[in-house]
Structures are given as C-alpha cells and as structure tokens.
Homo-oligomer: A and B are copies of this chain.
Amino acid sequence: MHDELNATLSAGESSTEHGPTRRNFLALGAAAAGALATGSFGSAQTATCIDIPERPTAKRPDPQPNPRVYSDKETLLAFRNHGHFAEFLDQPVTPLGMHYLLVHFDVPKLSANGYEISIGGRVRTPKRVSLSEIKARKQITEPVIMECAGTGRSTFQPRGIYVPWFKEAIGNYEWTGTPLRPLLEEAGLLDDAVEVLFTGWDTGVDLGVEHAFERSLPIKEALRDGVMLAWAQNGQPLLPQHGFPLRLIVPTWYGMASVKWLRAITVLNQPFKGVEQAKVYRYQKSATDPGVPVTVKRVHSVMKPPGLADAISRYRFVAPGRHLLQGMAWSGTGAVRRVEVSTDGGRTWKDAQLGRPGGPYSWTPWRTEWQVTQPGEYVLSSRATDTAGNIQPLSSAAIWNRQGMGGNVIERIHVIVQPGVGRSGDHVPSRPRQAVSGADMPPPTK
C-alpha cells in the first residue's frame, strides 16, 4: 500500500513546498488489520454487482459497468451533495438552498469575527486582509452559472466513482464580492509568478492523503474579469455550506475552481501539484493515464421537466395538448448560440428560442412549444451549441473518462402522455390554481 501510494502520488510527493501535505496516510492497510468492532450487531452483506470498498482507499475504485446500480457510499454522497431542483429551471436566479452543493470533506465552522486571509508567495508585499477590509472594497454582484466538474458522471459507461451526479449539479446564484485582480495587483506579482493557489479551511482525506482542499489558477485566469472573492449569495451572507464567510468565484470554470472557506492565496512560481489538481480533477482514459486538467465548463443545457412527477421513477405525466418546454443553457467556451429540442429521443431536432442571460456569466434561458396529440411515452432532450462551435454530444462514449468529469451529454426526460392528467385535488374547495410565474417568490436579493 505504501509503495503503491507513493507511486500514485509521485508528482505531488516531490519536495516542492506546494505539493500535498507531507503527512500522508500510509496506514490504511494497517488500520484495517486492527479492525476492532465491526460485527457485534448487524452485518453488511457483500454486493455481487458493484465493487466499491467500504473503507478508505488510496485509489479510486474502478469505474462500474452498470448504470442502474449504485453503492451505499455513493447514495450517502448523494444525500450530502444535493442537486438543483429541475422544476425551478424557469427561474433566472436559483432560490436559496436550491443550488447544487459539493463538499469533499466536512463543512468547516468558521467565525466572521477576526476572519482574515493571507496573500503571499511570489508577491512583493505579502499581507493579511480581514473580512471587513475585503467587504469595504469595490463591490460587484453577478449571477454566475456554476456546475460541478463531475456533472453527468452517472451517464458514463462504465461510470466513475465519486458523487454520482446525473444532471442536477448546477446552480445560478447572484454572488456579491470584490474583484480579485486589484488585490493581486496591490500585492504585486513577481516576475516568476505562474499560478495562484487558493486554499480552503476544509480538510480531510482522499486518495489516501490528508489535505486541505486547494486549487490553483494560471495567472491569466486569476486576473480575469468576473473572478471575485464573494461573501454573499442572493443578497445574504454565504450559507455555511457555500463557503461562509468568504469564497472564490471563478466564472466559466467548473465549480472546483471556486474554492470555498478561503484561507490563503499563494502566488506560485511553478504549477501546483496537490491532490485536487494532479489527481482528482483530471480527464483520464485509464488509471495510469495522468490525463489533462479539468478547467472550463463544456457547453450544456437542461430542461424544466413538464407536467407532473411520479414520486419514485420521476417519470413525467402530461395531458395531450400544447406544452411549453423551457430550460437553461451555458458554456465555458463561448456564449450560447443555439439550443435545439427533441421530443422523439434524439431522432429529430427543432430550434428553441433563446432568451437573454441575466449577465455575462449567467445561464441563457431557452423555450419552445411542444404540441402532442398521441398518448404514449416520449423522451425529451435539449442540445446546446456555443459560439466556439462546441455542441453537446448525444452519447457519453465520445467523452468517456475514468473519473466521470465534464459529462455534458444531452439529457433524456421520460414523459408519459395521457389524457386527463394534471387536474387533481379538485375535491378540496379552492380557488383556481395560483399563478406559477414566481414573480414574487422569496426575493433572490434582500
């Protein structure tokens, strides 16, 4: 185990000061040998069709072949790392608490009192900046479409093992913060600066290594418009699980770049090689492929599922007639140029009408009408194209990677068209159903 772990992490194990913490976990096997008390009541059965170890491992489990079978560990992660509610995809800003969440370890408990971050490394003037100093600086507010790099992991076959996202790893909060660039410029980047490292207060163990969550950006990306240190979402202090009291926001990149619970900003003169950079967020074709880094969001779109939901299968029921199909599209590689919709499982496509995004980093609304007369089962999909010419793939085969990163395959919403659906509840005296515009729902800013 010891040698295997060293081999796996060799890139990050070198004696650079910015590799992963040197207190690696090498005793996973030893601890297992000393197992004390696993069996005095109850006992876990061994699964025969999914193979994910119960205990910590120094490597990711192998991808699993069956898309309909998940382990208890993955289900636990799904409960912790909740998704966006697709029925709110008609809202330009994601309501509080509906944004997707990915927390690798535990949510740290931090105090706003006395909170400060360090800005150091290859800068002329290392400093510590307090939260109140940060909040007194220039303030910007922008809706930013955020998406987990592991989006669509469960659409790959075999599928990588970590949080088993389908299509719900998205959100579009309005973030309030201060631009990062002036802070870096005031600290004074030295000539040999190549990357900026962001370290969070969240620590834990992954891939056999204890480490704080930390990720770097190339200098050019760190200086980009829109990159900010944010202390509020939707007009109120960050929720603890979203990075209270301060986090980074990096538009266009997948969510892992937007480091939460920010503790330190360190300018580096060489590329960062920590666990989350060198091992976790990679497009890899095999376990030994070092892969290429996951960076900007691939072009993607999602649809608000029409009609009524079945409680367990989540199939949709709609009556024959005209239905508004609507949703959101975005891309990290350009603006959204086109969204097409299919109602026959991807055989034929029809252009949807695009709306205006709420800002330069927000998602783009789209809509079209679906007229259906024939009862039966339909599969609805949307497909976005961006100004760089990127288009969502119909199958995840072409983009398969071992860890299930960047899964932007088109989604498939199963709908059962059936007469008489959607008028329940009339046995209770009531006025006609209320408007569902959401126009005066709980305000996104307050």
Contacts and interface: CB of A to CB of B under 8 A. Distances in A.
Contacts of A31: 375-377, 416-418
A375 to B, nearest CB: 6
Contact of A54 (B77, B80, B313, B440): B313
Interface in A126-155: 126, 128, 154-155
Given A346-B41, A379-B36, A421 B210 contact: yes
A21 B428 CA distance: 10
B240 A38 contact: no
Given A111-B440, A240-B88, A161 B42 contact: no
18 contacts: A36-B376, A36-B379, A40-B346, A44-B67, A45-B66, A45-B67, A53-B313, A82-B101, A98-B239, A109-B437, A111-B434, A112-B440, A113-B440, A204-B308, A206-B312, A237-B442, A240-B442, A266-B428
Interface stretch (A163-171, A283-291, A294-302, A350-358): A163-171
Nearest to A239: B97
Interface stretch (A114-122, A174-182, A359-367): A114-122
Contacts of A34: 374-377
A78 interface: yes
SS class, residues of chain A in contact with chain B: loop
Given A49-B49, A210-B424, A394-B41, A239 B71 contact: no
A69 B47 contact: yes
Nearest to A310: B56
Interface in A67-114: 67-83, 85, 87-88, 90, 95-98, 101, 103-114
A276 to B, nearest CB: 10
A13 to B, nearest CB: 13
B311 A205 contact: yes
A220 interface: no
Given A25-B317, A40-B344, A45-B67, 7 more contacts: A23-B420, A56-B310, A74-B75, A76-B314, A80-B82, A82-B101, A236-B442
A442 B241 CA distance: 11
Interface in A1-40: 17-18, 21-23, 25, 27-28, 30-32, 34-40
A314 B206 CA distance: 10
B313 A57 contact: yes
Contact of A241 (B76, B98, B236, B237): B98
Given A47-B66, A87-B106, A107-B85, A37 B264 contact: no
